[in-house]
Structure 1
Amino acid sequence: MGIPALDYTPVDDIPTIAKRLRTTFNTHKTRPIDFRLAQLRKLYWSVKDHEAELLEANKLDLGRGTFEASLVEIDWATNDIVFVCKKLAKWMKDEKAPDIPFANSLVSPRIRKDPLGCVLVIGAYNFPVNLTLGPFIGAIAAGNTAVMKPSENAPNVAVVLQKIVESALDPSCFAVVQGAVAETSKLLDEKWDKIFYTGSASVGTIIAKKAAETLTPVTLELGGRNPAIITKNADIRLAARRLLWGKTLNAGQVCISQNYTLIDREVLPVFVEEMKTALKSFYPNGVKTSPDFGRIVNNKQWTRLKKLLDASKGQILIGGSTDEKELYIEPTVLQVDSIHDSLITEESFGPLMPLLPVTDLSHAIRLATEVHPTPLGLYPFGTKPETDRVLRELRSGGASVNDAFTHGTIPTLAFGGVGDSGQGAYRGKASFDCFSHRRSITSTPGWMERLLDVRYPPYEGKLAKLRMMSELKPDFDREGRVRFGWVRWLTTLGAGSKTGALVRYVVVFLGMFVFPPP
């Protein structure tokens, strides 16, 4: 079939592209639901039409087999489009403001979902289809114009993505910019209404600083030194199989896979044996020759991983072989003795699995907090009281209990980091929300003017009436203890309830006729 070489977008063209999309947004072309749905549906069929090319591109860029590329890349994107199309009308509807007192309900408070404007989506190389098209779908659904910047580190997929977008979408509304540092820097010089970036924390910091210059909101999906924690009461066989799968999918180039495993010293030997059994089960004819095990994306990343492995003081228990020519690194399990080992202090982003023995769960939680207090993912294995304690005492962007990153595989579950692992979330409805502005709106009818007289100067004598309409009475005493009774409800006319508010409002309204304002 053959995929043409990636051509970078001329830097001087980037301001013109951005201006074109901003101009289109201001014509309101992207706001109607019919336009959004038409674009999403065309995008769906374009992805389908280029499926063979996407499979080939995934193989060329990441050594990814057909099953894996279909499952985590192409099918993910097409299912996301279908789901969004089915739900978009519901998501776009105005929402009633929640928990509004009766007095305020008279002005029809509601929340409208407006598009943010012209947005920039910067994709990642490890899942170059999923992590680029995912947020782009959300931007279209929310009614924005958008520029897509695929990762130059997955150049073959980047070429196909450009073909998909340009053959399906309105060029006055959507564009693809190709390039590396220079082109991305030029993009960041433009004023955007939202920047969505997936990638490393170091680049995310640069983007956040640049966006701050123009007060541009950002969503950052970053990595994290994610811990798995295995107690002595865990199902060791399942823990071994599930964590091995999490570290061999995409040759470990998964931002939410475990970076290291804290395991009770008592069950470490059994866990290692179960890992060996699982590895043989996954790749019965060997890992290197298996069509189901991918490769490191490029020489730069392979060299980085090799240096991390060489710098580790850990003892290799499984694997350890490498092949630079094939960009191959064997799934490698090591036992390390410190959180300061190179494979724990750095995010490996590859098939390297350091195990650090701990004395008990308290020890594991303490070490995990020291390594990275806000990882992207968290993976506790053990009894329910044990895993509940881990979730209670450790923070993370998301968590999967007794499994490897299941929470990140559910397309309708909001996905995002916290602290150093990112900000904002997307997937499913969260993608629509990510690129929408929740605009609070009220509509005050003319007949309310008599009621509103209480807010106008002069204020003499009006404060008591205003408080009668709006003041909420506490249901707690000075010691923080809740107190409630029918006597109190009657004496306060049900403060805080809609019925009570209505009664008080009627009293005040009638009182304004009996005792009109001066």
Structure 2
Amino acid sequence: MASVQLPTFTTTPIEKIPSIVSRIRKTFFSQKTRPAAFRLKQLRKLYWAIVDHEKELLEAFKQDLGKGYFEVMTSEIEWVKNDIIFMTQHLEQWMKDEKPADIPWSHRIVSPRIRKDPLGLILVIGAFNFPVNLSFGPMIGAISAGNTVVLKPSEQCPNCAAVMQTIMEKALDPECYICVQGGIPETSALLEQKWDKIFFTGSVNTAKVVAQAAAKNLTPVALELGGKNPAIVTRNADVHLAARRLLWSKTMNAGQVCMSQNYILVDKEVAPSLIAELQVALKEFFPSGAKQSLDYSRIVNVRAFNRIKKMLDSTSGKIVIGGTMDADQLFIEPTVIEVSDPKDSLLVEESFGPLIPILAVDNLDQAISIANKIHATPLGVYAFGTKAETDRVLAETRSGGASVNDGFYHGIIPTLPFGGVGDSGTGAYHGKASFDCFTHGRSITKTPNWVEKLLAVRYPPFAGTSKLTQYRTMGVLKPDFDREGNQRIGLLWYLITLGAGSASKGAFRAVLVAAVYLALRALMEGRAWKALK
């Protein structure tokens, strides 16, 4: 693998950015990206370009993050390839006009429908921790929806960024899709341009800068951020499974995963057992130690390494497992820390690394209270315990997503919508949600000429006419509830449902009741047509 020649990371000149954006916008208005055939061809060519550059991607991941083969293939390369195939298999169906539900009969004559229009020019700003997945993933959704795209990969993984640019230039139409490289100056220059949507993955602080820049042009944004995600382990949980599953989620990419738990709140009765099981699982996952393992990643750069080290140095907690570091290799061992204060820096700050702080709590009430105080809207919540206990956690917390008795499983299902809430982000993607993220549902009606007489009710003069009465007959709903908020049951409905509770006749009567009710409702709605005549 060391013999693989990687392309050179080259920063895009800032002075070229306005002309790049202008050119890509002009292409969008040429309607070139709208046909399904064009979108499908671009996606299929992108798929094969990724296949052709697999060796370069593997080497780039090794140099940028020290990622192992299995992790790169499953969470990056195969994930993106699978995403492309899923999109191509469903795209034409998703593009079809949608018939809206619950349209009153009086309005169906104008054939209301929802058209799936592309938004326009999209800016995708990727992240370093999954540089291909979090860059190509949103871009695939934007291409599928018929947009033009400018991709700005993370400069913190320059080798991956350079290979992605090579792939795009080989596979995609350069008048529609382009890769811009660089750091903060280039990103700032991009944000000064007018976009139709910005998709950003990264930190909360940077997201605020992106959102402020977007607000100047009323540009909508999708923000996929991090979060001080809690894991809660009750006294009734399977501690053995909890330890394995939480360790898995915290050692993937050396903990540089926005979805992984930031801390564990565990019932004090089982806290010692959880720590013991974490030790067992760590030995099983890395028999010769994480440093010697080809499956364990490295920290992305010196700045991130020093930030994590500072967090560990500042905690008042006690290291009970791990703690070894090597700045030269950017290596930080999976480290378990017992903390006693909910205000400890390891809990209230996001480590984005392989640190596993554990805080023992008295009960589930206390765990939920602490989790909500530390961060009310994390990206994920991970609850371990009985059904009643985990149901309580889901009911009494908020989060972008949640996995019960597991660590971020909800985030690895490629067709399940994924996104944050509040401080952990806005918007969602993956699967069809990626298409919807970059699509505008355009409501359209088509009024035939011959219906003009029926529409006379909307034209003045109104005074001294019965037009308001006609209008109310046509479309105004009457409440089925009283002033106290109680639902009313009409006399007719009461009479036709009398005695329908018999177990032996329940099924038949239910069908009969439904049929009678729908027939009567249809007759009543027919009054609207009479009012139009």
Q: TM-score, normalised by structure 2?
A: 0.93
Q: Secondary structure at the match of 2:457?
A: helix
Distance 2:273 2:331 in 1: 28
C-alpha distance 267-20 of structure 1, shift in aligned 2 (>3 A)? same
1:482 corresponds in structure 2 to 487
Distance 1:6 1:83 in 2: 31
Correspondence for 1:264 among 264, 267, 270: 267
Within 5 A, what are the aligned runs for 1:67-466?
67-459=70-462, 460-466=465-471
Distance 1:184 1:486 in 2: 66
Distance 1:337 1:312 in 2: 10
Distance 1:338 1:46 in 2: 51
2:512 corresponds in structure 1 to none
Deviation (angstroms), 1:502? 3.6
1:515 corresponds in structure 2 to none
1:503 corresponds in structure 2 to 526
C-alpha distance 497-474 of structure 1, shift in aligned 2 (>3 A)? farther
1:513 corresponds in structure 2 to none
Root-mean-square deviation (Å): 1.6
Distance 2:446 2:341 in 1: 62
Distance 2:244 2:122 in 1: 41
Letter matched to residue 117 of structure 1 = G
Deviation (angstroms), 1:505? 1.7
Letter matched to residue 507 of structure 1 = K
1:65-98, Cα deviation, whole Å (9 max, x unpaired)? 1010000000000000000000001110010111
C-alpha distance 496-381 of structure 1, shift in aligned 2 (>3 A)? farther
Deviation (angstroms), 1:500? 4.3
Q: Secondary structure at the match of 1:310?
A: helix
Letter matched to residue 94 of structure 1 = D
2:475 corresponds in structure 1 to 470
Return 5+ residue gaps in structure 1 as ranges: 511-518
For the 8 Å contact 1:101–1:498, the answer to whether it is kept is no
Deviation (angstroms), 1:487? 2.8
Letter matched to residue 62 of structure 1 = L
Distance 1:290 1:488 in 2: 70
Letter matched to residue 499 of structure 1 = A
Distance 1:127 1:258 in 2: 17
Deviation (angstroms), 1:355? 0.3
Distance 2:183 2:523 in 1: 62
Return 5+ residue gaps in structure 2 as ranges: 496-515
C-alpha distance 498-449 of structure 1, shift in aligned 2 (>3 A)? farther
Deviation (angstroms), 1:498? 6.2
Deviation (angstroms), 1:508? 1.1
For the 8 Å contact 2:24–2:176, the answer to whether it is kept is yes
1:246-304, Cα deviation, whole Å (9 max, x unpaired)? 00000000000000011000000000110011011101111110101110001110010
For the 8 Å contact 2:7–2:166, the answer to whether it is kept is no
Distance 2:494 2:480 in 1: 10
C-alpha distance 489-148 of structure 1, shift in aligned 2 (>3 A)? farther
Distance 1:154 1:78 in 2: 20
Letter matched to residue 291 of structure 1 = L
C-alpha distance 411-501 of structure 1, shift in aligned 2 (>3 A)? farther
Distance 2:518 2:74 in 1: 55
Q: Secondary structure at the match of 1:355?
A: strand
Distance 2:143 2:413 in 1: 21
Distance 2:433 2:381 in 1: 21
Letter matched to residue 468 of structure 1 = T
Q: TM-score, normalised by structure 1?
A: 0.96
Deviation (angstroms), 1:494? 8.1
Deviation (angstroms), 1:138? 0.4
Distance 1:416 1:443 in 2: 36
C-alpha distance 71-488 of structure 1, shift in aligned 2 (>3 A)? closer
Q: Percent identity?
A: 59
Distance 1:294 1:76 in 2: 18
Q: Secondary structure at the match of 2:41?
A: helix
Distance 2:229 2:427 in 1: 18
Does 2:63 match 1:60?
yes
C-alpha distance 33-497 of structure 1, shift in aligned 2 (>3 A)? farther
Deviation (angstroms), 1:509? 3.0
For the 8 Å contact 1:472–1:495, the answer to whether it is kept is no
Distance 2:492 2:78 in 1: 61
Q: How many residues align?
A: 508
1:195-244, Cα deviation, whole Å (9 max, x unpaired)? 00000000000000000001011000010000000000001000000000
Distance 2:5 2:292 in 1: 23
Q: Secondary structure at the match of 1:95?
A: coil
For the 8 Å contact 1:44–1:81, the answer to whether it is kept is yes
Q: Secondary structure at the match of 2:290?
A: coil
Q: Secondary structure at the match of 2:404?
A: coil
For the 8 Å contact 2:106–2:529, the answer to whether it is kept is no
Distance 2:280 2:22 in 1: 57
